[in-house]
Structure 1
Amino acid sequence: MKARTAKKVALRLSTTQKKVTAGSPVTFRITNTSKVKRTVRLQRWDGKKRTWRTVASRKTRTSVRITIKAPKGTWRYRATASKVRQRAGTKVRTFPTTRSAAVSVLGRAAAKSTSPAPAPAPAPAPVAGDRTLGSAPVGSARYAVPANALYVAARGTASGTGTAQNPFGSLAHAVSKAPAGATLVLRGGTYHESFLIGARKTGLTIQNAPGEAVWLDGSERVTNWKSTGGRWAAAGWNHTFDHRIMSGSKDETSRWVNAARPLASHPDQVWLDGRALTQVASEKSVTSGTFFIDKAGKRIVIGDNPAGRKVDASSLQKAMEIHAKDVVIRGIGVRRYASTQKQFAAVVAGVSGISFENVVVSDNAWVGIAAWASGQRYRNVTVSNNGIMGFGGNKSSNLVIENSEFRGNNAQGFKPAPVASGIKITRADRVVLRNNVVADTPFAGGIWFDVSSSNLTIVGNAIHGNAAGLMIELSEGALVADNQIYGNVGTGLRVQASGSVDVWNNTIVDPRPFAAWDDARKQEVASLAATIPWKTDDIELRNNVVSMTGSNTCPILTQDEAQVRHGNDFGIRSNNNVFHRRGVTAPANFACWANGLKQVKSFKDLAQFRAWTGNDKASRLLQGAAVVDGRGTTTSAVRGATASVATPLPTTIAQAIGRTPGTKSLGAFSGRR
């Protein structure tokens, strides 16, 4: 018998939680690259005793997560693994003792409070028709008006003193005159303007007067129509916009725009009696329901008789840009701005602490809201029918979006890559999406996390009617729980080149409910390589109801684009789920698993899948009648399986979704919305 010592194997320790409140949980990830099952230990340095003390240990073949409570102060941690031997026939390989590099975690003292109060119980998830979901209708919000409030009227003039009797004549003028911390109360009307909230206006609040409808509107009324050969034209239209999508000096429009919808990036917009018309490329193509912009002749041409009707066209490109911290925007609507890539969005929230509540952002040509800083809050907002994206966040850490609606975005039908979506967030840490609806996004995905995002909490959402549901890409650390994901054209939940993803108690009813995808991309930022490695690994699926609709041959899929890894290398731990399909061969396969150079290995049923992967030993496959009704409620067949299939909710999962720890249930608790 021959014995040999294996090359020294790296043991990696990482965490994305470098600074936390003392006593709160910290999750570490230990990666064992030897692929040999061995005991790994998480150790903490004891400065007084001058020794490393083991605080937890686990057995793992690939990677494992360990969660502990962070003590007060700065502490160093490392991972270690003892020597182990592996026998293969007549050969014995020895893997020597190894340890990781140390990482430090700061446990900060909790903020002191003179009158501490218990945390309120989580609010129940909104249900269909619940007014707590999305913005209140424009004109219905009623906020208290402070005694020193400044008033604004929609006169379009740089006039007034800001009193109730003599309000400022425009919002831009009011912002220029208001001191930091002021409250601007907008009287009802249409504000056709663009404005900047400068950095010195910290703490400014902009709100509607109680019960009055306020719209920031980028369109203007067009009236000078003349009949011209079965069409109608308005001369003197001097608003021309650059539709190109540039990367430096390079025109990349074709990368973004689908050839089937070549005018998608043109921001021109026209409405007839509030109904959006469709832009066409030539005057001879104009028919009823369409319009053409004659740039050379400075005309708008439409195919419907405008006599006695209202025609509006976009003439401004941005509503507001916020450069002041802690600004509050509430009770208003923003619509019809001809925004392009150059403006980034109709609304740009560029600094920390900004808050939006009961705000509608709709019918803008590019992005509805762009958020570029930390600590922002969006509560009860409605973002709909924007050209390429509803909400875009970049480096927007500590972001919360809750009780909001995102519907019909990517209205112009851009290509799904590089950004089209209902919501797309990149390079952000500690993001919470809670109790939202993200729906009806044509040709693109509903929610998309990308490029080194981490510590994501996606709970209680309804994600439906999109080209794809939820994608977590090039990211690390996500909780996906209590979501209704259904009726999407493609994949319901896709995890790509991402790790440490917990998928608990979701109801997913889609042609391909789940896919874990890996590719050859490597982390671009060296300092993030250990914590966000852009690798598909460490994925847990529990208590989900997964129904396979359609005829996709691989409804559950793991895939490695490089054709190197196998599905069992992805660190997937799946159990306690209920799966459903219409029949024994509908769809033909239960799952397909990455299989190196052979691409994928298919499994016809749960038994084959279980035998090959070792997963889903307590799960159940139901075949035949649907197991979820139109409201997202599971049928008696699923409920009857709960006792034998479901596993109790861990405390961390239960707290995130507002449930009692130890509860046993299958699928989402929240209903469809």
Structure 2
Amino acid sequence: MLHPPVERGGRSRLSRALMTVLVSGSLLASALPAASAATYYVSDSMNRTVSGGWGSPDSGPAYQLNHPERFALANGVGSLALLPGKSSVATLDIDQRDVAAGVDLSFDSLPTSGSIYASLASRQGSTGRYDATLRLLASGELRLEVARHLNGTKTVLEHVRIAESVHPGESFHLDFNVSGDSETALTARAYRAGCAAPDWQVQHTDSDSALSTAGDVRLTGYLSSSASKDSGLHVDNLRAKEAPKDLLSEESGTAEPAPLPEPSPTPEPEPSPAPSPEPVEEAPALPAGALYVAPGGNDGASGSADAPLRQLATAVDKASSGQSIVVRGGTYHESVTIPSGKTVHLVNYPGEKVWLDGASTLSGFTASGGAWATGWDLDFDHSPTYTRGADDNQQEAWGFINADYPMAAHPEQLWIDGAPQTQVGSLDQLRAGTFYIDFSANKLYVGSDPRGKKVEASTLVKALSIRGANSTVDGINVRRYAPSVPDMGAITAEKPGITLRNLSVEDSATTGINVSATSNTISNVKIRRSGMLGMNAVYADGLKVQNIESSGNNTERFNSSPVSGGLKITRSRGISVKDSVFTSNRGPGLWIDESVYDSKIVNNDMISNAAHGLSLEISAKAVVVNNRIVGNGGNGFKLNDSSDVRIWNNTISGSNRPLNIVQDNRRGENASDPGHDPRQSFPDPTMTWVVKDISVHNNVLSNTGGGNAILAVEDYSHEFSAAEMEISTDHNTYHRLSSGTPRWSTVWSSGTGDPQVYTSLAAFQSAHQQESGSAEVIASSVLDDEHNLTSAITERNGSALGLPSDLATLTGLNAGSKQMGAYRR
């Protein structure tokens, strides 16, 4: 059961800000079974400070606002300014079909005439959406309406009166669940804060399948054009998660709809009102002088809004430097290069989904010896390393290819009815769910019967090669391209000042995105199911990565090292990775490696990755603050051969060493050791590759069973003791399952000889002037299902050091605040 966040004194932030009653109803109460945090698409307590707009929620993609100046956050509550006849829209790009969403809402005033509409929508896409709307009339009456919006037409499917008289500032909770395919089940309810959640007040099955596909979540505020003054909405506690598959059979929806109790006796049912008019949407803001591209366009056309071009590549060729290209919703099968010397701004038409798709449909299959074959005349590069044509590295721990997965570097990809097939190396290995390519005979074989099914294969190598400095790509999604390892990625940002934002990159054969130039920004980007690596960056000084989700990468099972996982950054300076999620990657979550200087790793989640959650290796000057590093297969955080690192307020938990600080034989002064930045003088005085000056404060180090220690500091070269490394650790919390699990609390380098080991924190405290303000907690768990700390830890917050002002600025938190581990998301 998920309760809205409550401040001291029992008030929700929304109720406290508006001086209304306690929000005690639970979000989606009785609508959803208990589920893991992984099912949450969006979760937002609005408890943050941003300079404008709404920024990014606690989890989920950043808000896309049609008019950012109308949106604000203050005192833990979001607000929308409403102007007569205009819509204020916040969209969250979750791309999901079955969604259970909920939000707390309050109206600032009654409309002078007409209505105020507060809508929560799912399956938002280029053709329409479903929404549940709280409609406040000038009389104070509040109605709940569930509607279908399709191709600009609104159809009210059901409606019910919620309250006869609403006063400005009253808080209401709105739940809206959407589920199903050919028939869509819609359930909705709204109730005053402080009341128990009622049964579903609206239950409707929509047989129109036009909105049966996945889409986004959207919040909209609208004020009737007849109103004589502006108004506003307040918003809090927005959540969206996977909906039950059969909403209408849920126990909570079996009773007759019951309106909330009113202060006076319930009136007789009113006559059904006429469907409410569709609020008139504002024309979206579009760049002046832009060229337009549309699936039905013509490359011989002028490129105006009324005469769009057909291909993005044609528009790029036609565009002058600095010009924008607006791309209408649809699918485009092409490779696009923005050439050197030309700045181009690609942007999707507002509210419309654009895909660059590298796959083509295959046909003409014939039965062939228990398999099915068709022609194939493409020959992609199968090089296994970044050097085209070279064999794989033979040095131990440097080979890309795992012998158990020899086809990893083959970028061919194939799907049957959307299900990915596995490539095999010979015809006799062919089985159901696999495919084989005989390059000498130009034949492609599938092991599953393709008859009556859609068979698609990647036929293009790259989606976007961006070689024009200061170009932007906004809202142009990419899927199913086949870059080889030396092609670097499906999208390559190759010049300074490039921005990628508000897009998804899916099913790239090797790497999703590569950045190889300075001052690039990657913001609000999802990278999923890349064959080797979600994103790579090298020589990327000034790189800003914010609010990305890199998940499920290394589907081809390349070796974890030298490169795989969520994001790897090498040979760069002044980089930041903030507010991002790295999860379920077959490799490290986030890997900072090879002479990265001045990195800021802030407010991220590295969860359930197969290797280390966070790896910081042969680098220097880093801040690692307010991250949650949980449930990874390797160490939580492994720090190798790096200096000047501040590790503050992180929650690091897993069944291996939570924090493992290691020195090995590599040295920055050795030219033969790989990983130097050739742009710097040699030897680089900032890159000693020696562990030194490491501070560890306010962290929760949780060992859930394994890895033999909670905190380890070791020197495999037997040269430096922990004291000589200048390790400073205090005001942390050590968690273990029992006094003997793990075996040791602390491993502490002695320099020469074996390290010292301590079976308890108390023994370590007694032996060294470290951790005097720290404590050990023995418990089965110290995290809840959403990876937030339980009271076993939070009751120790008063023992934490105050958050330094520079770290507060980085994290957006309050200077001087005291917290053990990561702050609650």
Q: TM-score, normalised by structure 2?
A: 0.64
2:230 is the counterpart of 1:230: no
> Cα deviation per residue 1:329-384 (whole Å; 9 max; x = unaligned)?
11121111110123111111011111111111110111111111111111110011
Does 2:820 correspond to 1:666?
Answer: yes
**Alignment-derived partner of residue 568 in structure 2:** 424
Amino acid at match of 1:200: G
> Which range moved further: 561-570 or 170-179?
561-570
Taking the TM superposition and a 5 Å limit, the aligned residue runs for 1:26-37 are none
1:277-334 deviation line (CA, Å, top 9, x unaligned) = 1111222222221111111221111122212211110111111111111111111211
With normalisation by structure 1, the TM-score equals 0.78
Cα distance change of structure 1 residues 240 and 143 upon mapping to structure 2, 3 Å threshold: farther
Of the three residues 424, 431, 437, the one matched with 2:581 is: 437
Partners of 2:708 and 2:742 within 8 A in 1: yes
Q: CA RMSD in A?
A: 2.3
Q: Percent of pairs identical after alignment?
A: 34
Structure 2 equivalent of residue 110 of structure 1: none
Q: 1:475 to 1:135 in 2, by over 3 A?
A: farther
| Aligned equivalent of 1:292, options 436, 441, 446 | 436
Matched AA of 1:231: A
Q: Residues of 2 paired with 1:613 and 1:422: CA distance?
A: 37
Q: 1:245 aligns with which of 384, 388, 391?
A: 384
- 3-state secondary structure, aligned to 2:787: coil
Measured after TM superposition, the shift of residue 164 of structure 1 is 2.6
Secondary structure at the counterpart of residue 468 of structure 1? coil
After the TM superposition, which residues 556-635 of structure 1 pair with which residues of structure 2 at under 5 Å, given as runs? 556-635=711-790
Q: Higher RCO, 1 or 2 (CA under 8 Å, sep at least 6)?
A: 1
Alignment partner for residue 193 of structure 1, among 334, 341, 361? 334
- Cα distance in 2 for residues equivalent to 1:135 and 1:458: 24
Aligned to 2:308, the other structure's residue is in SS state coil
Q: Describe the shift of the 1:648–1:193 C-alpha distance in structure 2 as closer, same or farther (beyond 3 A).
A: same
Match of 2:155 in 1: none
Tell me the residue number matched to 1:259.
403
Structure 1 CA distance for aligned equivalents of residues 650 and 53 of structure 2: 18
Where do 1:2-41 residues align within 5 Å?
none
**Amino acid paired to 1:452:** S
2:598 equivalent to 1:455: yes
Unaligned runs of 5+ in 1: 1-117
Whole-angstrom CA distance in 1 between matches of 2:418 and 2:722: 52
Measure how far apart 1:156 and its partner are.
Answer: 9.7
Question: Equivalents in 2 of 1:351, 1:389: separation in Å?
Answer: 21
Matched residues in 1 for 2:476 and 2:453: separation? 26
In the alignment, what sits opposite 1:501? Answer: 645
* Matched-pair contact (CA < 8 Å) for 2:704–2:781: no
CA contact (8 A) 1:135 1:380 kept: no
For residue 174 of structure 1, give the secondary structure of its aligned residue in structure 2: helix
Q: 1:182 aligned to 302, 323, 340, which one?
A: 323
Kindly indicate whether residue 513 of structure 2 is the aligned counterpart of residue 369 of structure 1: yes
Q: 1:496 to 1:122 in 2, by over 3 A?
A: farther
Q: Which residue of 2 aligns with 1:522?
A: 667
Q: Which deviates further from its counterpart, 565-574 or 462-471?
A: 565-574
- The amino acid of 1:569's aligned partner reads E
Q: Tell me the residue number matched to 1:410.
A: 554
Letter in 2 for 1:616: E
Other-structure match for 2:306: 165
Which string of whole-angstrom CA distances, capped at 9 and with x for unpartnered residues, describes residues 179-222 of structure 1?
A: 011111112222111121112322x1111223322211111110
Give the deviation of 1:638 after TM superposition.
1.6
Q: Structure 2 CA distance, aligned partners of 1:344 and 1:248?
A: 11
Q: Please report how far the alpha carbon of residue 120 of structure 1 lies from its aligned counterpart in structure 2 after TM superposition.
A: 2.0
State the partner residue of 1:28: none
Structure 2: 5+ residue stretches without partners: 1-48, 65-91, 96-124, 127-214, 217-282, 669-675
CA–CA distance in structure 1, aligned partners of residues 294 and 407 of structure 2: 36
CA distance in 1, matches of 2:522, 2:325: 19
Distance in 1 (alpha carbons) for counterparts of 2:681 and 2:325: 46
Q: Is the 8 A contact 1:135 1:404 kept in 2?
A: no
Q: How far apart are residue 130 of structure 1 and its match?
A: 6.1
Whether contact under 8 Å (2:291, 2:303) holds in the other structure is yes
Q: The residue matched to 2:483 in structure 1 has which SS?
A: coil
1:593 is displaced (CA, Å) by: 1.9
Alignment check: 8 A CA contact 1:136 1:358 kept = no
Worse overlay, 129-138 or 277-286: 129-138
Shift in Å at residue 427 of structure 1?
A: 1.5
Letter in 2 for 1:151: Y
* Structure 1 pair 119–496 and aligned structure 2 pair: CA distance change class (3 A): same
The Cα offsets for residues 539-571 of structure 1, whole Å up to 9 and x where unpaired, read as: 111111111012222332122221222222221
Residue identity in the other structure for 1:279: Q
What amino acid is aligned across from residue 162 of structure 1 in structure 2? G
SS at match of 2:351: coil
Q: What is the rounded CA distance, in whole Å, between the counterparts of 2:411 and 2:761 in structure 1? A: 50
Output aligned runs, 1:197-236, within 5 Å.
197-202=338-343, 204-235=344-375
Determine the C-alpha separation between the residues in 2 that align with 1:568 and 1:304.
62
Q: Partner letter of residue 58 of structure 2?
A: V
Deviation at 1:501, TM superposition (A): 0.7
Cα distance, 1:193–1:119 mapped onto 2, change above 3 Å: closer
Distance 1:336 1:119, change over 3 A: closer
Secondary structure, aligned partner of 2:694: strand
d(CA) in 2 for partners of 1:560 and 1:135?
46
Structural mapping, 1:106-121, within 5 Å: 120=51
- Partner residue in 1 for 2:57: 126
Question: Within 5 Å, which residues of 2 pair with 1:527-542?
Answer: 527=682, 529-542=684-697
Q: Is the 8 A contact 1:126 1:403 kept in 2?
A: no
Residue deviations 1:45-85 (CA, integer Å, cap 9, x gap): xxxxxxxxxxxxxxxxxxxxxxxxxxxxxxxxxxxxxxxxx
8 Å Cα contact 2:295-2:310 kept in structure 1: yes
In structure 2, what is the equivalent of residue 653 of structure 1?
A: 807
Residue 512 of structure 1 aligns with which residue?
657
Q: CA deviation at 1:251?
A: 1.4
Going from structure 1 to structure 2, the CA distance change for 1:403 and 1:414 (only over 3 Å counts) comes to same
Q: CA deviation at 1:494?
A: 1.2
- Shift of residue 143, structure 1, vs aligned partner: 6.2
1:302 aligns with 2:442: no
Structure 1 residue 666 displacement after superposition: 0.8
Residue 469 and residue 178 in structure 1: after superposition, are their counterparts in 2 closer, same or farther (change >3 A)?
Answer: same
Rounded to whole Å, the distance in 1 between the matches of 2:552 and 2:393 is 22
For these two proteins, the number of residue pairs brought into alignment is: 550
Q: Tell me the distance in 1 between the aligned counterparts of 2:514 and 2:371.
A: 38
Secondary structure of residue in 2 paired with 1:602: strand
Range with greater deviation from structure 2 (598-607 or 479-488): 598-607
Q: Distance in 2 between matches of 1:491 and 1:240?
A: 40
Q: Is the 8 A contact 1:539 1:572 kept in 2?
A: yes
How far off its partner does 1:661 sit? 1.2
The one-letter amino acid of 2:383's match is: R
SS of 1:512 mapped into structure 2:
coil
Q: What's the secondary structure of 1:573's corresponding residue?
A: strand
CA offsets 1:13-45 (integer angstroms, 9 cap, x no match): xxxxxxxxxxxxxxxxxxxxxxxxxxxxxxxxx
Which structure 2 residues correspond to residues 50-129 of structure 1 after superposition, within 5 A? 120=51, 126-128=57-59
1:469–1:485: 8 Å Cα contact kept in structure 2? yes
Aligned to 1:71: none
- Name the structure 2 match of 1:548: 703
Question: Is 1:568–1:613's contact at 8 Å kept on the other side of the alignment?
Answer: no
**Of 403, 425, 429, which aligns to 1:281?**
425
Secondary structure of 1:598 counterpart: coil
